Structure formats: C-alpha cells, structure tokens
Structure 1
C-alpha cells in the first residue's frame, strides 16, 4: 500500500521535471485551441493510455525491439508538426491531396480530427507522445525493472497509480490553459494570432522531437541541477522500502509456516543431466532448501560457499538443495552461462532456470538471495532474506533432518558440528547503492538524462559527487547496459570496502582501473592484474578490495575492445 501511494506521488511530481517537457505544450495547446470543452479530458486520457500501452510495448515487451527508436520519434514529431500546420494554416488540411476522400469515407479519424471538433482528433493528439515518453522518475524505473518482471498485476497497479498522478496534474494544467484562452476570447476564431502562435509552437516541438533536440535540452537542464525532483522520490523510496530491489546484505527470517509452492514453468535445468525435477519429487522423502539466486549477484555469490558446504555434508542425511536461478540480466538466461557459473562456484545440486520469473512470482519473492526450508511434510518452516545467519540456518537444517529421521524411523545424524564455522563470512561494509548503467534503472547517472537510450557523448565533471555515475566519451545506452569502446571511461565516487562490476564483452576488452588518481595496486580486486581487468565472459568482476570501508574515487578507462557494463555493486 505504501509503494502504491509513492507511485501516485511520483506521478504528481514528474510534471515538475524537465523529462516531460514535450507533454506540456501538447496538453496546454490542445486545450487552448478551442476544439471542444471535452478536449482536455480526451487529450490527457488518451495520453495516459498511450503512456501505459507504450510502456509495455517498448520497455517491457520485446515485440518491437527491432524497430529503431528514431521511428517513434518521427511518428510523434510528425503528428505534432501536422497539427501545428493546421493551426497555422487553417485551410491547409482540406487542400492536401486525398484528404477530401479520406474524410468522406468511413475512416474520418484524421480528416475530421484536426479541423473539426472531433473526438478522434483529440485522441490522436494525446496519444502522439506515448511512443517517446520517458521520465527521470526513480519510482517509474523501480516499477519497470523490478515489480513488472515479478508480478504483472502488481506492476500494472503501480504503473496505473503513477500515470494517474501524472494525469491529474496535466489535466489541471490543461484546464487552466483553456480558461486563460477563453478569457482572451480567441477560441472561436481559427485565424486568431493566438492559434497561429500555438501552431508555431507545435511545429517547433515536432521538429525538435524528430531531430532529437528536445532530449538534449532536457539533459542540459538536468545537468544544470534545476528541477531535480528525483531526490524527493529517492528519500521516499529509501524510507518506505517497497521490497522490489536486490537485498544488499539485509537479513530477515520468518517462521510462519505455509505449504510449499511448486516450481512453475521452468526454463531449463542444470546439474540434473537434463532431466526435469519438481519439489514434489522430494516431499515426504527429504528436507528441501529452496534458494532463489542469480549468478552475477555478489550477495548470492557470498552465500554459495555455505550452500555447497551444507549440500556436501547433509545430502546423505536427507537434504536436497534446489537453486532457483531467476535472472536479473538477459545474459543470465543463457543456460550455458548458468552452467559455467555453477561449475565455477562449486555448485553441484540441482538448479532450475526461472527465466520468466514464474516461480519467483509464485513465491511472492522480491529478493536475491532468499532461502526457504521445507520440512519432510512439505511445509515451509523457515524463510531467510539476504546474507548472514548461517549458523542459525544450518542448525535449522539439522533440526529438520532430525525430525525427518524420526518420521522415517531412521537413526539421527551424530555429527552436530557446523560446516559454516569453517567459512569466513564477508560482512557488507558499504554506504554506496547498487548503480545501474542501463536506461531502465540508471537513476544515479550524473551527467546525462536517466532513462534515455541511444548513442550519447558524455563529459565528466572535475569534481564528482558521491554515489553518482559519470560516463566519459561515447557510450551506447541500452535498456540493461551501457556499451563503450576504447577511449570511453567511467567515474564514480563511492564509500565502501569492495567494488564489483557486472560486465561482458564478446571478443574481450581491457579496462584500466584507477583509484584516487592512481592505477590500482594493492587495492586491486581478484580480477585485476597489473592495474587492469580483462572482461571476457558475462559475469561479476571484482575490481577493488580496500583495507577498510572508506571514500574513494574510482575511474575505469577502456583501453581496447568493446565492453558492456551493467551495474556497480559494493561491499
């Protein structure tokens, strides 16, 4: 409920940001054009529906992934330019070849739309900006990246709340514009100077969109520091955790029992010789530990030694571990990548690929990692979120194995020592957030517009801000990652002991790692050799291992090859 309210407030605040600059002239200009008293409602309503529709079509679905983004820019900009021309030159519409026939036939949508008080004309105007709608709202990014993949219904509810807040403010602005124009007495005259000014405004806006200039203007405003309403949202999100982000060492246990939930729509299996498995195969026979994880997640990786040790010690005593691999990034859907990662981390128990988030959603899970213990009767009796509490979890495993032995009339295990005591636990010591490079979640981008995809040029500041991502040179920003070649760079001032990055390269890329103005030496992570990291496979790379948690400025310089960067994580 709390996140629903935050989504609504985020929609209200979005109108104050430069990200929605193209919407305001359309809404105000359409309402003030005197077409109909219902125009503000129709335009804003169709705009809202268009935003929702194209959010799914362009940002969630991959159905139109092959269509270049410029196509939608041309479509939206073209519609606005045509509408502006009809306001500037009222007689133009009827003189366009073929329009008379268009208007006389059954399809009168466009023909009547611009010159007459047409419902469909207002719909077209309002819907024209849906394909290019973007926002710098971090709440919108959370809905897109975390809630929707896990729960379509819940994500849709939050998205509707966000769009409702946005629409209410836009409608108020539209009605004020209409009232202002009405007082000027210019609504009924199609040749008034006021309408010609509106027409010119629409033409300018349409051309700005077609040539991508409006995005550059928005970026410049954001870079200047004005209208940065995202900080308000960030505070709301931090104070009211919607449980939709990766657990960064946050621990939590639940002992409320409930029946186990079966694996749903698996995408593949690892460590089973290709044979499918189900939890029902083990209920009544074994104690089951279900582990939700993904292989590039550092929090998950820190739990792998414990999982492997528990499986090795207790598998003959009746424990079965089933890993549910729910991917955060697209490359983690590749079964070969998952298989290689499990081998690297010594994971030999069954792993189920949950590429569609079906099992994740069935459990109502929101975290990587998360562990559920299921007793021999098929009841979930233990639930742990995040890292830590390894001794407690292992003692619970022993308790359930003892119960199993009693139910099956078997001898109870004699070795009650803990395997976890032989592993050094790594404590999270970070005051820096997980930071994403892709346009879906790059709200921490400091020298560009969050949410904007495509090739862009970046200039880094002399003095970077804390926990802010700065790119340098040419980067191609896509939904999940930023791709850069030789000469590209990354600047990030952080507060942590360890720094990791999720990255990949098709043919290999060499990146120099600098800290506080010097090539790293002793502080280099496991994957750094002689001050450089070589990115090959799709995985998490360990860049920095400081002696203690403290503030530093990290710089990455791409020396050769092309690399795709997904996210920084800190420890």
Structure 2
C-alpha cells in the first residue's frame, strides 16, 4: 500500500498542472494580495482539509442530515462573494478583519497576533475553495470517490486521500507564497496593489456566480478540450500494474474469502433499515425452519429473472417449513428508497419478507459478492447450499426439498415447472456508465469526472459505449444534458438500461422510438427473438436524466 500512497502524492503534485484547478487559481492568488506571512499556510490547510472532508464524508453527512450536497457549494460561493467585495471596497477590509479577530478570539486568547488573524482569514478562503474544487480524476481519485459514495471508507482510503491532498497542498503553498511576494513586495506591483486587489475581487465575484450557475463545470470542460493530453497523461501515470493491483485490493476485488464454502454456521441478518412484507426476523427465532436468503436488487435484470422462481418456492414450500428472506442490497443510491423497493415488490408480486440492507451490513456479514446470490440454511442454522447468479433452479429446488425432508417435513408437492430464462448465448457483458466501473468507453475524448463534452467515434467497436454532447459523469452514473446521446454496440436479444429521470413524463428517443420515463428503474430498450449484432442510439429529450448500467438478455 506504500507504493499507492506515493503515487497518490505524486498525482496530487501533478494536479497543479491540471486544467481543472486553473479556475481556482485566481481565488487563491487574490487572497495573497492582502495579509501577512501566515495567510498562505492558512489557505493551503483550508483547501486540503475541506477537500478531504468533503470527499470522504459527504455521503455520510447526506445520510445523517437532510442535506442537499449543493448547499455546500452555495455556502462556498457566498464566502467567495464576501471575500471579493472585501477586496473591491476598502472600507469592508477593516470590518472583515475585525470579524476574523472576534472569531479567533472565541478559539482562545493565545490567538491574538495579527499573523494569527491572517492565518484564519486564509483558512476561511481555503475552506471555500476546497468545497468547490472538483479535480480531474484519474484511477486513484475515482476509486476514492467510488468508495466514499458507497460509504466504504477505511483507514487506508482516508490515508490515501490525505496523501493526495497533501500532494496538492505542496505546490499550492508554493504558489501562494510566490504570489504574496510578487504582489506585496514588488515595488512595481505594490504601486498598483489597490487596483490589482479590485480586479481580483471582481474575478472572485464572477467565479462565485459561475459556481451558483454551474458554469464553472462548463469552464472546466472547455479547458480540458483545449488541453486534452493532460487527462490521458494522468490516467497513464496511475495505470501501472502495481497501482491497479493495489486499487483492486482497496476495492475488495481480490478478496480471498471463499464464499462458496458450505456447512458453516449462517451469519446473522444485521443492519436492516426496514422490513417489508414482514415484522423483523432473526435466524435464532427461525431455528427449526429451512431458510433461503436471496440477495437481490430491483434494477438487476439477473435478479429479476430469478424472482418468479423464488416466489414460486415460497408459495409451494412455506407450509412445509420454508422461510424466504429477500435481502435487498442496493447497487445504486436511489435503490435505497423504501418506496421504490415497495413498488418493485408490488410489480413482481413478491409476498415473502424483504429486508432492506441499505448499508450492506448483512451483505458483508455473508462475505457476499454477487447479485443474485442464494444461501440455503438448514433447520440447525448451518449454510448447506449456495448458488450465485441465474440458472440451476432445479438443483436449488432439490436442495430445498432435501433440507425440508431432513427437518422432518413430508414434501409431497411436485417440483416447479417454470421456464428457465437464463441467457444461453454469449452477449455483451453488463456495462456500467459511472466513472467508478465504466469499461469499453469509446468516445473520441477520454472519460473524466464531472462535466465534459464528448463526440462519437466513426466506428463503435462491439460491446463499446460512447457519449455525444454534454455529460456530467459521477461515480455511479452519468447525467445527460438536453440533446446528449448515448450509443451502444451490442450483441444480445434484449437490452435493458437503469435510468433515473429528473421528473415523471420525461422522454428518451431510442433510435426512432420515444419512451416515456416514470421513475428510477430498469427499462427495456430493445427486444428481439434472436441474438443480434446491432447498435442503439439514445437521445435525451429532457435535462438531468441519469443512466447507470446496461444489462442484456438472450
């Protein structure tokens, strides 16, 4: 992990050359036109601290507090606006310094020197800058963002973030020190310092307006378009095999736990947010019953195809002592909403208990890695059979019947006779569209975190996906602007896409067909009786439509 920390620090150092940080530099430099020696360090510490905290803790804060993440940007924009007016209007400078002095005085009497006031003034500026700054993301920062978004922050992720932020802080500190010397000690600059401060004040206010209107993201896109080689260079820097291996280890991709082991005591069902179709259940109170634990999520097409079988087993064998518990572990943030899960339960006619495992507590307790996944527990509380993915329904049902008989039940019902819809032909693999897991991206421009403009390639390779127009790429999803397009070259009979519209009634155009969206769920975009090699072009007719992942059937 030491190598990964070193690469994170180096990537942070290189960030000073990134177009994504350039809109931040006028604010940083403008702050150095006033104050003493303590201000550059205050600015640097403020940026490093607020960037680290926002990156690691925002997902937790949104969960605990009814907080819109954009509120932090608006607060930061307000602070920057105030600082801008302080630079423009000399009379406000004294009032601002007095306010900082009072703030410092509440911390402790030992902070009474002018240099301490300068430090705190710079610190406030740095805090605001750290909140609004969205760096160009390479693999390291993308991994941090993904783990933070899923609230999987460990001490390794925290240290990795601090190394990256420290790398950013070193050149920023050097820049602020040089800026201060240039503006305050140069006789030529000092002669025009008041005018320079007013110009920078106007720049800060303009920047705050861009933040509120989200034009700062557009500016980042234009800068990346003007300097496209930077993102490619950063990705190459962080894509060495040793870094990728350690990032995989951090994400838990190479976890060596063998979840297929059977004959061991079943872990408890823990951390459940809500129970649907049932009162809360525990394995202790179900001792003597045969229990089928089914991990699923309602936008997963593989899970959806298994649900008729799971419901059928529940109906057929519940009188013989079978209990089915569907553990709903959400792949995407909107799947945590209880109303959405209840709608899915109603849609698919599920009557067995469903537990919302929103924080993946039970998932982790079972060392699970799959959607769908089935764990069959005998009457003594031991896992005796597991199955991951679709198919082999007769094998699973035979295991249920055998354990029921072992528990003393007389099973007289015939086995189910439901069709097995597991794909039998090779199809395009599941294709995620968020930066954290996207693969086979084929637009002419490299994909980046945040807002960007993309164009379609002349030829889209098989299984490839490409954006066209303006997109805002986040860890779990990509958000389309009006008129943006998404093109897919697939091999399958059925194509599905997880979509979250901004509002009910929004539409997309798939090739020449208009599809009306109602809520965040899985939509079928294409259906054929045979596997075909074809392309789909999806045009987004309304703003802020989020797309998460393609899945396929044969």
Q: TM-score, normalised by structure 2?
A: 0.73
Q: Which residue of 1 aligns with 2:298?
A: 295
Residue 374 of structure 2 is aligned with which of 355, 371, 374? 371
Q: Which residue of 2 aligns with 1:89?
A: none
CA contact (8 A) 1:481 1:564 kept: no
- 2:276 is the counterpart of 1:269: yes
Paired residue total: 520
Q: Distance in 2 between matches of 1:70 and 1:103?
A: 22
Q: Distance in 1 between matches of 2:543 and 2:179?
A: 54
Shift in Å, 1:540? 0.7
Shift in Å, 1:242? 5.2
Residue 170 of structure 1 is aligned with which of 144, 150, 168? 168
Q: Which residue of 2 aligns with 1:512?
A: 509
Q: Distance in 2 between matches of 1:371 and 1:494?
A: 32
Q: Which residue of 2 aligns with 1:568?
A: 549
CA contact (8 A) 1:327 1:354 kept: yes
Residue 286 of structure 2 is aligned with which of 268, 282, 285? 282
Residue 483 of structure 2 is aligned with which of 473, 479, 488? 488
Q: Which residue of 2 aligns with 1:435?
A: 433
Q: Distance in 1 between matches of 2:376 and 2:490?
A: 35
String of CA shifts for 1:249-306, please: whole Å, max 9, x gaps.
xx97343724421343432313x3xx333333312x1121212211112232133234
- 2:423 is the counterpart of 1:426: yes
Q: Distance in 2 between matches of 1:549 and 1:309?
A: 32
Q: Distance in 1 between matches of 2:429 and 2:165?
A: 36
CA contact (8 A) 2:510 2:538 kept: yes
Shift in Å, 1:555? 1.4
Q: Distance in 2 between matches of 1:323 and 1:204?
A: 57
Aligned pair in 2 of structure 1 residues 392, 478: CA closer, same or farther (>3 Å)? same
The two structures, once aligned, show a CA RMSD in angstroms of 4.9
Gapped runs of 5+ residues in structure 2? none
Q: Which residue of 1 aligns with 2:357?
A: 354
CA contact (8 A) 1:31 1:177 kept: no
String of CA shifts for 1:59-84, please: whole Å, max 9, x gaps.
5533331865762452353366468x
Residue 224 of structure 2 is aligned with which of 210, 222, 225? 222
String of CA shifts for 1:377-405, please: whole Å, max 9, x gaps.
22344555444565654554455445433
Q: Distance in 1 between matches of 2:392 and 2:331?
A: 24
CA contact (8 A) 1:476 1:482 kept: yes
Provide the secondary structure at the position in 2 that maps to 1:170.
Answer: helix
Residue 262 of structure 2 is aligned with which of 241, 255, 259? 255
Q: Distance in 2 between matches of 1:334 and 1:342?
A: 13
Q: Distance in 1 between matches of 2:442 and 2:125?
A: 32
Q: Distance in 1 between matches of 2:304 and 2:26?
A: 50
Q: Which residue of 2 aligns with 1:210?
A: 208
Q: Distance in 2 between matches of 1:11 and 1:302?
A: 46
- 2:315 is the counterpart of 1:332: no
CA contact (8 A) 1:252 1:384 kept: no
CA contact (8 A) 1:291 1:322 kept: yes
Aligned pair in 2 of structure 1 residues 121, 511: CA closer, same or farther (>3 Å)? closer
Q: Distance in 2 between matches of 1:556 and 1:113?
A: 61
Q: Which residue of 1 aligns with 2:135?
A: 135
Shift in Å, 1:49? 1.9
Q: Which residue of 2 aligns with 1:525?
A: none
Provide the secondary structure at the position in 2 that maps to 1:262.
Answer: coil
CA contact (8 A) 1:513 1:543 kept: yes
Q: Could you say which structure has the higher helix fraction?
A: 2
Shift in Å, 1:159? 4.2
Q: Which residue of 2 aligns with 1:528?
A: none
Shift in Å, 1:541? 0.9
Q: Distance in 2 between matches of 1:348 and 1:238?
A: 43
Provide the secondary structure at the position in 2 that maps to 1:327.
Answer: coil
Aligned pair in 2 of structure 1 residues 33, 419: CA closer, same or farther (>3 Å)? farther
Shift in Å, 1:45? 3.5
- 2:550 is the counterpart of 1:554: no
CA contact (8 A) 1:46 1:127 kept: yes
CA contact (8 A) 1:460 1:470 kept: yes
Q: Which residue of 1 aligns with 2:185?
A: 189
CA contact (8 A) 2:508 2:516 kept: yes
Q: Distance in 1 between matches of 2:106 and 2:183?
A: 22
Q: Which residue of 2 aligns with 1:526?
A: none
Q: Which residue of 2 aligns with 1:524?
A: none
Shift in Å, 1:323? 0.4
Aligned pair in 2 of structure 1 residues 500, 231: CA closer, same or farther (>3 Å)? farther
- 2:326 is the counterpart of 1:323: yes
- 2:80 is the counterpart of 1:77: yes
Q: Distance in 2 between matches of 1:223 and 1:381?
A: 56
Gapped runs of 5+ residues in structure 1? 87-91, 520-530
String of CA shifts for 1:22-54, please: whole Å, max 9, x gaps.
556777888999944x76665443322211333
Provide the secondary structure at the position in 1 that maps to 2:485.
Answer: strand
Residue 516 of structure 2 is aligned with which of 534, 537, 543? 534
Provide the secondary structure at the position in 1 that maps to 2:284.
Answer: helix
Q: Distance in 2 between matches of 1:448 and 1:207?
A: 32
Shift in Å, 1:337? 3.5
Aligned pair in 2 of structure 1 residues 118, 340: CA closer, same or farther (>3 Å)? closer
Aligned pair in 2 of structure 1 residues 435, 245: CA closer, same or farther (>3 Å)? farther
Trace 1:112-127 onto structure 2 (pairs within 5 A).
118-127=118-127
Shift in Å, 1:556? 1.9
